[in-house]
Structure 1
Amino acid sequence: MQPYDSSPAHGATPPGADDGHNADPAQPSAPSAVAALSIRGLVKTFGAKAAVAGIDLDVPAGSFYGLVGPNGAGKTTTLSMATGLLRPDAGSISIHGVDVWQNLVEAKRLVGVLSDGVALFDRLTGEQLVTYAGMLCGLDRNSALERTRDLLTMLDLQDAGGTLVVDYSAGMTKKIVLACALVHAPRLLVLDEPFESVDPVSAANIRDILAGYVRGGGTVIVSSHSMDLVQRMCDHVAIVSQGRIVAAGTVDEVRAGSTLEDRFVDLVGGRRHAEGPTWLQSS
């Protein structure tokens, strides 16, 4: 499956080779014509709390980009604004040069989203849900159904295509939402905790699918708490803390000779060195 159709009818331009980031891992990339996602001055507050406090970020086209941070750091809020699900208080966002909040419909055609915890039409079967998602994105019914069947096979859900989504396990639900994100062949995939509740075999299959998608010219942004997974899977990473980017660049640049987990803890803080109460220690 190709991540997008680069024919003139779709107005797509294949991404170039320049990854568009500078060498300082604490700074965002310089603006680039090939950036899959470009964010400037992004702000979102809820009451007195600044969930996102001025984020600048460039995601190079064709990259596998990890977004990591502690709970409450602003990762999900940032991705929700970047994909048109939540309006920012300030700042600009563009996907492949399309301003998200000035051209919302056009921007949404370019992106597929897997959001953690979003309600589904779960009284539809898996096949119906993915087909419906494809038709919402402008596919005719026959094309949407053909792509849906390809995706169900690819995600090992072909035997569950006629089952109501409400009866799916957590891992199956995650995979059917991924199918919905892929069905219109977007240029950018934004995945919030895509491997949570997914068994190891399914997770390996999903990683292979995403790697193939990137090789085909697509871009993946994945938010995850698993530092090891991000270090192995991603080529770029940004660390978010208290609504700000504290480091961004290639994985090697950000981890700076350490493991990504150790670098993350050094930047974010919060590690406790106490051994715990004596009653927890065996004699």
Structure 2
Amino acid sequence: MLKLKNISKTYSKGTIKAVDNIDLDIKSGEIFGFLGPNGAGKTTTIKMIVGLLKPDTGQVFIDNIDVWKNSLEAKAKISYVPDNPEIYDKLKGIEYLNFISDMYGVPKNVREEKMNYYSEMFNIKEALGDIIGSYSHGMKQKLVLTSALIHDPQLFILDEPMVGLDPKSAFQLKEIMRKRCDEGKTVFFSTHVLEVAEKLCDRIAIINKGKIIAMGTMEELRSHAEERESLENIFLGLTE
């Protein structure tokens, strides 16, 4: 479902290598966790996957479609939830959801069903008639999550999705992620909450200073690490 081939990205006129020759191959039906310290290259990698940043070298494929050669076809298969929900403050919540639905060509009956389902689940249904600028950070995050699920993407990409969510909504999001992968869809997400990654992910990659330094299931990560208990111990041992 998602394949990265020799992806690299530099900043500051080539002096800072944010992502250094990354290869990833992520299957359908998989929850894939992408972990790393601050500044390790996680968000840069994600922005290259979703087509917001162009790699200096390498290719990104979504369901065998080149993200840069067939951009619209590739992006139709994904949803992206960024680490900060920067959305249109002057729109009402319902207007934003309809705008996203229009972009993806979601029929009226389908969008209404999805809007009702997810807005009730995340407890923002009563606020959909309000201006987004009046929302708290957590409410904006819930609105973005709702909008990202309306067109039922094959690949769900999330950058720090738990930030700002209350415990109930965070639990519901984890349930959604697991259910989607049980249906054969794919989730790729970055998080600093290592306990969530340990319990939820089928496989995990750890990036540090732009390079993948470990990848595999929890058992595979344990087998190659001196600390063989928690993901937190493995992560700290590898990155420090």
For the aligned pair, the TM-score class normalised by the smaller chain equals over 0.9
Is 1:186 aligned to residue 153 of structure 2? yes
In structure 1, distance between residues paired with 2:135 and 2:173: 17
Q: Partners of 1:211 and 1:169 in 2: how far apart? A: 27
How many Å apart are 1:141 and its aligned residue? Answer: 4.3
Question: How is 1:58-137 mapped onto 2 (pairs within 5 angstroms)?
Answer: 58-117=25-84, 119-137=86-104
**For the structure 1 residues 133 and 110, does the alpha-carbon distance in structure 2 shift closer, same or farther, using more than 3 Å as the test?**
same
| Larger mean Cα displacement after TM superposition, 83-92 or 73-82 | 83-92
Other structure's SS at 2:119 match: helix
Contact 2:85 2:140 in 1 (8 A): no
Contact kept, 8 Å, 2:85 with 2:144, in 1: the verdict is: no
- Partners of 1:127 and 1:149 within 8 A in 2: no
Distance 1:131 1:209 in 2: 21
CA distance in 1, matches of 2:7, 2:150: 29
Aligned match for 2:8, one of 32, 43, 57: 43
Larger radius of gyration: 1
CA contact (8 A) 1:41 1:56 kept: yes
- How far is the alpha carbon of 1:118 from its aligned partner? 5.0
Native 8 Å contact 2:205 2:212 kept in 1 = yes
RMSD: 1.4
**1:80 partner SS:** helix
Contact 2:122 2:142 in 1 (8 A): yes
* Distance across 2 between alignment mates of 1:215 and 1:69: 26
Gaps of 5+ in 2: none
State the identity as a percent.
37
Residue 262 (structure 1) shift: 0.8
Aligned partners of 1:131 and 1:148 also within 8 Å: no
Amino acid at match of 2:60: I
- Indicate the larger mover: 210-219 or 187-196: 210-219
> Which aligned pairs between 1:272-283 and structure 2 lie closer than 5 A?
none
Give every structure 1 segment of 4 or more consecutive aligned residues whose post-TM-superposition deviation is greater than 4 Å.
Answer: none
Structure 1 segment 209-248 matched on structure 2, within 5 A: 209-248=176-215
Q: Please give the alpha-carbon distance, in whole angstroms, between the structure 2 residues aligned to 1:229 and 1:266.
A: 19
> TM-score, normalised on structure 1?
0.79
Equivalent in 205, 209, 233 of residue 262 of structure 1: 233
In structure 2, distance between residues paired with 1:120 and 1:245: 31
Residues 213-251 of structure 1 show CA distances to partners (whole Å, capped at 9, x for unaligned) of 121221111100111111011111000000010011112
Distance 1:203 1:118, change over 3 A: closer
Query: Using the alignment, how far apart are the partners of 1:50 and 1:255 within structure 2?
Result: 29
Contact 1:44–1:53 (Cα < 8 Å) also in 2 = yes
Q: Which has the higher helix share?
A: 2
Aligned-residue offset at 1:209: 1.7
Query: Are 2:168 and 1:198 equivalent residues in the alignment?
Result: no
TM-score normalised by structure 2 residue count: 0.93
2: distance between equivalents of 1:213 and 1:158?
Answer: 22
Query: What's the secondary structure of 2:133's corresponding residue?
Result: helix
CA contact (8 A) 2:6 2:58 kept: yes
Cα displacement string for residues 72-93 of structure 1 (whole angstroms, at most 9, x for unaligned residues): 0000000100111111111011
Contact 1:62 1:214 in 2 (8 A): yes
CA offsets, 1:48-74, max 9 Å, x none?
101001111111110111100000000
CA spacing shift, 1:118–1:88, aligned 2, 3 Å: farther
Match of 1:154 in 2: 121
CA distance in 2, matches of 1:189, 1:156: 21
